[in-house]
Chain A
Amino acid sequence: MSVAAPPIAASEDMPEADKRDLWFCWWVLPFFYSFFGLIFVLLTHVMPPPSPHKTDEQITAFFHAHGTTIQIGFAILMVVIGGSGILNGFVAYEMKRMSVTPVFAYTYIATLAVGAIPGCLMCAFSFLVASFRPDRDPHIVAMLYDVALLTFVGSLGCFAAQYLTLGIAILLDKNEIFPKWFAYVSFWNVITELLAAPVFVFKKGPFSWNGAISFWEGTVIFVIYLNCFILLLRKAVQDQRAGEVVQD
């Protein structure tokens, strides 16, 4: 290490200029999730998911009806998906400000990097492939539909690990980067992820991929988590003091 930085009073807030990179990262949050909502809810009709209880013909009709918006929506996703990399790096940085080992931060990144594939991209690509040739055999279209939605709702392990990692890190953190109650909000999502496991079995009812428990309740809890997280990340950036030593 080279010459130590001159000592700065602990009560001084970090000059705003030094935090511009962090603020940029934070602003990616509302933009990214707005895109996410626009894409998955309005354009591609993945949230809420269409029913697993459809026949092959009905599924083909679904892609005929929504093919254009699916293609627009998921093409946009391919452009903006890089935002998730920024967000994960940003959260990992905040986790490195904690007193716990940076292993937590690395685990957070790793679980989401893996999770993004089944949790988001496979759905996007499957829907895009299904919409690419409208005259495809309905059996194949139905399979693409199943692949898309089973991966989207059923990729629960990676995310359960992510929520667990974040929650445990917060509880152990002596630097209080995030309030302890948020660890528990994170843990709620672990439970809802576990309750998504039955989607591989049920084509209707509360435990199907569009069911009251496996989808709806889990999504409501996720939205609560996300809103809290956006506000808490803002506070974390604001509260960062000048001269704070962040572990490597």
Chain B
Amino acid sequence: MAAETAMSPSARRLPGDVNMWVFVLGDMVFFGAYFVIFMYYRTRQQDMFLLSQRHLSLASGVVNTLFLLASSWFVARAVQAVRDDMHERALRLVAAGGGFGVAFVALKIHEWYALAHHGFKLSTNDFFMFYFALTAIHVFHVLLGMFVLGFVGRELRRADLRRAWVVEAGATYWHMVDLIWVVLFAILYVMR
């Protein structure tokens, strides 16, 4: 961490685009509120939440977490590739990141389907209400993220564009999606 503290103020820069940071920071605050509201309802019905939680597939949660972590890894490396002017490589890395995003959505849908098959739905109880609503709004963010990555891909393909800040801004958003999932995984799947 020595490199971090030794950085002069002029060497520090905001990656991507300040407007995207407004979006990301705001989204983090709003999701934070959803998480706290979840905890409020959880503490009032702890036993029911614990019982219901057992019906979730912890394995699916873990695999999905690993999927998003891998996708973020690829996207982070794509940003590095762009900075080194390696646009072809960056494009492949973004595609790989997007691929893991698709895998996440596919597994999530499978998980929902399996739960629905066992009779669990949004109105079953407060735990499942939060589970379906929060994972749904998160999946919406993932789908939006796929669109963002697609936009980044277009940026990389066009020789007249290839602006590093666009790739960085897209990456910032994508990492936020990963970050939010890390919290969801902890509070929905693992916390007891």
Contact = CB atoms under 8 A, between A and B. Distances in A.
Q: Do chains A and B touch in the complex (CB under 8 A)?
A: yes
Interface of A: 179-181, 183-185, 187-188, 191-192, 194-195, 198, 201-202, 205-207, 212-213, 217, 221
Nearest to A167: B23
Contacts of A212: 37
- Dominant secondary structure of chain A at its interface with chain B: helix
A194 B30 CA distance: 14
A205 B22 contact: no
Interface in B2-29: 17-20, 22-23, 26-27
A184 B20 contact: yes
Interface string B126-145: 10010001000100100000
Interface string B58-72: 000000000000000
B30 A205 contact: no
B41 interface: yes
A188 B151 CA distance: 20
Contacts of A181: 18-19, 22-23
A201 B23 contact: no
Interface residues of B, number: 20
A191 B30 contact: yes
B137 A217 contact: no
Interface string B82-117: 000000000000000000000000000000000000
A180 B19 contact: yes
B122 interface: yes
A153 to B, nearest CB: 15
Contacts of A198: 122, 129, 133
A188 B133 contact: no
Contact of B34 (A179, A185, A202, A217): A217
Contacts of A201: 122-123
B33 interface: yes
Contacts, number: 52
B23 A184 contact: yes
A221 B110 CA distance: 32
A194 B140 contact: yes
A195 B137 contact: yes
Nearest to B36: A212
Contacts of B133: 195, 198, 207, 213
13 contacts: A179-B19, A180-B17, A180-B19, A181-B19, A183-B19, A184-B20, A194-B137, A195-B137, A202-B129, A206-B37, A206-B41, A213-B34, A213-B133
Contact of B33 (A185, A187, A217): A217
Contacts of B129: 198, 202, 205, 207
A205 B41 CA distance: 9
Given A185-B22, A187-B23, A205-B129, 9 more contacts: A180-B19, A181-B18, A184-B19, A184-B26, A188-B30, A191-B140, A205-B41, A213-B133, A217-B30
Contacts of A194: 137, 140
A158 B140 CA distance: 18
A201 B19 CA distance: 36
Give me the 10 closest cross-chain CB pairs, A-B, nearest first. A184-B23, A180-B19, A181-B22, A181-B19, A212-B37, A206-B37, A201-B123, A184-B22, A217-B33, A188-B26
B16 to A, nearest CB: 12
Contacts of A188: 23, 26-27, 30
Contacts of B19: 179-181, 183-184
Interface in B31-45: 33-34, 37, 41
B28 to A, nearest CB: 12
A179 B19 CA distance: 8
